[in-house]
Structure 1
Amino acid sequence: MSLTKQLWLAIGLVMALAFGGSMLVSVLSARHYLQQQLQVKNIDNATSLALALSQLDKDPVTVELQVAAQFDAGHYRFIRIVSPTGQTLVERSFSGSLQGAPAWFARLIPMNAEPGRAQIQDGWKQYGTLTLASHDQYAYQSLWTGTLELLAWFVLGSVVAGGIGTLAVKRITKPLRDVVAQAEAIADRRFIKIAEPSTPELRSVARGMNDMVTRLRSMFGEEAARLDGLRKKVNRDAVTGLSSRDYFLSHLQEALEGEQFLSAGSLVILRLTDLEGLNNQLGHQKADALLKHLGTVLYKSGEGKPGQRAGRLKGGEFGVLCPSTPSPQDAAQDIFAALSSQWLPHWSAIVPDLFHMGAVGYRRQEPVGELFSRADEALARAASLGPNSMYVDEGTHAADARPAEQWRTLLTEAVSGGRLQLAFYPVVDGSGDGAIHQEGVIRLVADASGALLSAGDFMPMAAHLNLTAPIDLRVVRLAIDHLRSSAGDIAVNLSAETIADFRFRNELTQLLHAYPDMCARLLFEVPEYGVFRAFDAFKELAHTLQQLGCRVGIEYFGQRFTEGNKLADLGLDYIKVHPSYVRGIGDNLGNQEFLRGLCNIAHAIGIQVIALGVESRDDLPLLASLGFDGATGPGIR
């Protein structure tokens, strides 16, 4: 029983005892008063009647008539005259039933007024003894009426007191509710702080819990900062700040094999003409400044372009992966323009022949070796064009082009016409034997032949056309339909553009309210870049979904680790770590240390950690030893 209920129970008990005691005292006092009045009346009436009879002739008829007249007018229970020898001379008694009050009330509160007695004289002789008792039904009627009025006042007083008490209890327990809400939030892995209440007892509790939350946040932030430093040390080039070769190649592999982005993208390779000559000409310090400046320009060229990543492949060779730009011509021109305006003017006067750049397109599932072979050919052609030149291999790797209106028609019909499907992939536990849940991945039937497009092929255009909300809602309906006919749990993805859509959140909430038994088996996950792009909206959505019984997670986690301290406010159920940290984990001791620390800090606040992009089941024992709770990827399917 809650503390508030116990408080109300105590208040109600005290009020009941107080009112009950007051009513008992009042009723007994009234009964005593009425009983005294009856007794006084009995004595007075007996004396008066005896005096009147003493003055009359003692004719039996006259005496009886006098007694009858008194009895009929005075509301008596009985009047009796007894001779000195004990003979009853006259007697009149009431033979009716009690009126004006319930019989049980009379039995519960009896009145015992003594009858009145007086002597009747006949001259100097005693004629007899007169005994009479007034009827007590009128006293009972008065007592019953008074009791009902008192009870009514007590009830009215209780209602008024209850109303005032309700307001008072709400005011008094508001700080208590805040403390309870904070405790519940901590149980849900959301570490919030509250204002300290004015009540001394609750203030100390709130202060202690706030201090605990502050310490947890501080520990989480410090550990996150340490891990972020380790991540940068392991996966970034020390001079340029760009991705290291292994980290860049891992991203490239994910773009070629995964489904997060379009099925076609671009790869831009930049090669410095003579890095050794630059070192000799400029000196190591100035040459490093040139490389750092180049890294800054390449890094900033990816701002606002999901998935675009720059890395240092070796020495003076750099790569820029552009998974959201299917046209290599567009990707190359954008990067070349940035270099020409922000980097080249600062160094071309010293080193006129600085670089060559080649750009190629790629298609999903293309081997990495073939892609780099084509990129090397593009670089060779760029070198033949002269200093600071670029060459674009248009090839046949561009994505299939569709006009925007054709996409709009296709996507609209897909939602309404049942052309959206879910493909299911298992997420297994650390041993690889048990399934944690199924991941429902969206597919679009593109044409009559039944060709399927993955989410990366059409969701960017859906976002451009503001159609992600109906698509995501349809995905949730498909997942619920599947859950109704199968066992296990299903995780579905929500688009980054959808989570800030207030109308979508209302429709999603209404849909889940209609299937409360499915909520516990339904998991929702959002890409990391979408979470931090609309953090407040995601936080509100996550809290709403968790109140309905759903679980919430972040997918492709780890690219914005510096903001990971915000996770302490979300109450997440799980995170899925980006494949770039997981691929080749057996040969990367630095990433092993980073992931072990990530799992420890996530487990400290009750978050499950799942590895994405696992290439082989042989990696599962190592991942389990690092602390991963589950895994999924091409090696699991």
Structure 2
Amino acid sequence: MSLFRQLWLAVILVTLTSFIGSFAVSMQSTRSYLEQQLHRKNVDSANSLALSISQLSKDPTTIGLQISALFDSGQYETISITSPDGTVVAERAQDRVDTAVPGWFIDLFPIQAVAGRAQISNSWMQFGVVKVVSQTHLAHQALWEQTETLIIWFLIAGALSGLIGMLILHRIKRPLAAMVAQAEAITERRFLTISEPRIPELRSVARAINDLVRRLHNRFIEETSRLEALHKQIHHDPVTGLANRDYFMSHLRSILPPVNEAAAGNAQSGILLIIRLNDLAEINRRLGHTGTNNLLCQVGSLIGNIASETPDRLAARLNGSDFGLIIPNVDHAGQFANQLTLELTALPSQTDGEVADFCHIGAIRYQHGDKPDELLARADTALATAERQGVNAWHVITGQSSSNSSLVAAANIGDWRHIIDDALNEDRFKLVLHPVVDPAGIQLHQEAVIRLQTQRDGKWLAAGNFIAIAARLNLTGPVDLNVVRHALEPLQSQAGELAVNLSVETITDWGFRNKLAQLLGQYPQLCRRLWLEVPEYGAFRELEAFRDFCRTFKGLGCRIGIEHFGHHFGEFQKLTDLGLDYLKIDPSFVRGIHQKKNNQKFLRGLCSLAHSIGIIIIAVGVQNEAEQRTLIKLGLDGVTGPGVK
């Protein structure tokens, strides 16, 4: 029984007890008072009648008239005169009269009226004794009316007590409800503080919980800051703040999985640029160490601003004079390289020295199936060609396209609208399921990756080949809705749990979000086995929409997570109030983890931090058993990838 029900029950019991006690005392005292008054009346009536008869003749007619005169008033039950020898001289009696008082009330509260007696004299001799007994129906009538009055006042007092009790309980309930919400927020891994209530007992409890939440939050912020510093130290260049070579290579491998790794679903196409600053030693001699570093920072800022325009771009400093830039979903490599050259060559003029031949750029197109080492070799070739072409030159090498990439490049945006619309209408989508296992090898869930068939009996495209185009066409909502419908089928037909990736465009589209919520609302049991995840860049870019998305779909019973996590680790504390269930680490942090001590240290700290607020960590893109063993030792809760069976 809840606390408030117990309090209401206590109020009711106290009120009833008070009423019953006061009612019993009142009834007892009133009945005793009425009995005393009836006795006094009987005595007075008996004395009056005895005096009257004593002064008159004692013949039966006179006596009878005297008794009748008193008895006919209707207030007496019995009037009798008895001689000294016990003989009844005269007697009048009346049965119980009709009354509006219920019989059960009369039986429950009987009134006993003691008879009044007086002696009748006859010339200094005793003639007899008169006995008078009054009717009790008038006393019962008075007692009944008082009872009705008491009940009416009790109801009024009970209503007032209930109103006062409701106000008091409401006053208590508000801080209690806030404290319950705070406790639930803690269980959902959200840091929530409340205002301290005015009630002293509750104020001390609220203050203690608020202090606990603040300590947890501060500790979490401190640990986040420490890991952020470690993350920057491991993956970023200390001078320019750009990613370093190791991080760049890991990211490149993660977006270019081998053709047989269809599970990745992240395959992209775009351009890769290598920017080389010429004769950095001479620049250092002219500008000095500080000036050179300032120039490098300007170059890093320029390239970094280009990379920050979209979350899937990456800029890095590969070595002292070389910079790398990955630009997905861009076709005009020459135009891009030319504009970048113009902006870079304008930088030396802002310094004290003049550098005529400042940089060269080599650019190539990359696509799904390319090998990172071969890709970099071709980029070096393009860079070498640019260096031979002259001052501040650039050169682009066009790569060979695979079959799928050729299809993507050949179709214009209008064609793609028809392709995706037709696929939706004819349901030419399917899900490829890949296992996600815990450290013991037991399946946590299956990860569902979408595939699209561009035409009947045609080849199936991976998500990376069409999702970006679907986003440009504002079609991710229908695609994601179709994916969830397909995901519900295996959940209905077999045991286990399933994870589905949703696009950020879908969670910001209220119409499709509502349709998705209505769809899942029809399957409450299946929602508990459905994991919904959103890319990291989308979650941070649309944080308020993602917060509402978490609240809505966690309410339906789904588990909510973020995939490709790690690139925005510095903003991790923004996620603490979302109640996330899991994070999937980006493959760029996982590749070769068994050989990277610094990455191991970072992931171990991330696991510790996430576990402290109840979030599980899953590694994506595991290639082999060595990586899997290392990740399990680091404390990760699950792994998936080509090396996981």
SS of match in other structure, 1:242: coil
Larger deviation, residues 165-174 vs 587-596:
165-174
For 1:495, give the aligned amino acid: S
In structure 2, distance between residues paired with 1:420 and 1:339: 45
The 8 Å contact of residues 298 and 310 in structure 1, kept in 2 or not, is answered as: yes
2:561 aligned residue (553, 557, 569): 553
SS of match in other structure, 2:576: helix
Measured against aligned partners, the alpha-carbon deviations of 1:12-49 in whole angstroms (never above 9, x if no partner) come to 33333333333333333332333233223333333444
Cα offset, 1:67, TM superposition: 4.8
Cα offset, 1:321, TM superposition: 1.4
- Matched with 1:389 is 393
Measured against aligned partners, the alpha-carbon deviations of 1:216-257 in whole angstroms (never above 9, x if no partner) come to 222222221211111121112233332222211111111112
In structure 2, distance between residues paired with 1:381 and 1:321: 20
Cα offset, 1:474, TM superposition: 4.0
In structure 2, distance between residues paired with 1:470 and 1:98: 84
1:626 matched to 2:631? The reply is no
1:574 matched to 2:578? The reply is no
TM-aligned CA distance change 1:531 to 1:92, over 3 Å: farther
SS of match in other structure, 1:268: strand
- Matched with 1:356 is 360
- Matched with 1:427 is 436
The 8 Å contact of residues 328 and 393 in structure 1, kept in 2 or not, is answered as: no
- Matched with 2:298 is 293
- Matched with 2:149 is 149
TM-aligned CA distance change 1:363 to 1:49, over 3 Å: same
SS of match in other structure, 2:507: coil
In structure 1, distance between residues paired with 2:462 and 2:59: 125
For 2:16, give the aligned amino acid: A
TM-aligned CA distance change 1:76 to 1:388, over 3 Å: same
In structure 2, distance between residues paired with 1:470 and 1:294: 42
SS of match in other structure, 2:114: coil
1:519 matched to 2:524? The reply is no
In structure 2, distance between residues paired with 1:379 and 1:574: 42
- Matched with 1:213 is 213
Residues 464-543 of structure 1: pairs in structure 2 closer than 5 A = 464-543=472-551
Residues 35-434 of structure 1: pairs in structure 2 closer than 5 A = 35-51=35-51, 67=67, 70-71=70-71, 73-96=73-96, 99-121=99-121, 125-257=125-257, 259=264, 261=266, 263-275=268-280, 278=283, 285-329=290-334, 331-333=336-338, 335-341=340-346, 343=347, 345-346=349-350, 350-397=354-401, 399-412=408-421, 414-415=423-424, 417-431=426-440, 433-434=441-442
SS of match in other structure, 2:132: strand
- Matched with 2:260 is none
TM-aligned CA distance change 1:210 to 1:613, over 3 Å: same
Cα offset, 1:260, TM superposition: 5.7
Cα offset, 1:208, TM superposition: 2.8
In structure 1, distance between residues paired with 2:65 and 2:378: 140
The 8 Å contact of residues 594 and 626 in structure 2, kept in 1 or not, is answered as: no
The 8 Å contact of residues 268 and 331 in structure 1, kept in 2 or not, is answered as: no
SS of match in other structure, 1:376: helix
Cα offset, 1:595, TM superposition: 0.8
Residues 578-589 of structure 1: pairs in structure 2 closer than 5 A = 578-589=586-597
Larger deviation, residues 78-87 vs 96-105:
96-105
The 8 Å contact of residues 301 and 338 in structure 1, kept in 2 or not, is answered as: no
TM-aligned CA distance change 1:9 to 1:340, over 3 Å: farther
The 8 Å contact of residues 306 and 324 in structure 1, kept in 2 or not, is answered as: no
- Matched with 1:603 is 611
In structure 1, distance between residues paired with 2:288 and 2:124: 155
TM-aligned CA distance change 1:219 to 1:132, over 3 Å: same
Larger deviation, residues 583-592 vs 393-402:
393-402
Unaligned runs of 5+ in 2: 258-262
The 8 Å contact of residues 244 and 311 in structure 1, kept in 2 or not, is answered as: yes
Cα offset, 1:446, TM superposition: 2.6
TM-aligned CA distance change 1:87 to 1:563, over 3 Å: same
- Matched with 1:456 is 464
Cα offset, 1:311, TM superposition: 2.0
In structure 2, distance between residues paired with 1:616 and 1:192: 42
SS of match in other structure, 1:139: helix
The percent of aligned pairs where both chains have the same amino acid is 46
The 8 Å contact of residues 286 and 353 in structure 2, kept in 1 or not, is answered as: no
The 8 Å contact of residues 305 and 324 in structure 1, kept in 2 or not, is answered as: no
The 8 Å contact of residues 366 and 399 in structure 2, kept in 1 or not, is answered as: no
Tell me how large the CA RMSD over aligned residues is. Answer: 3.1
Cα offset, 1:628, TM superposition: 0.6
In structure 1, distance between residues paired with 2:66 and 2:424: 106
In structure 2, distance between residues paired with 1:564 and 1:255: 23
What is the total number of aligned residue pairs between the two structures?
635
In structure 2, distance between residues paired with 1:362 and 1:65: 134
For 1:182, give the aligned amino acid: Q
Cα offset, 1:509, TM superposition: 4.2
Cα offset, 1:281, TM superposition: 6.1
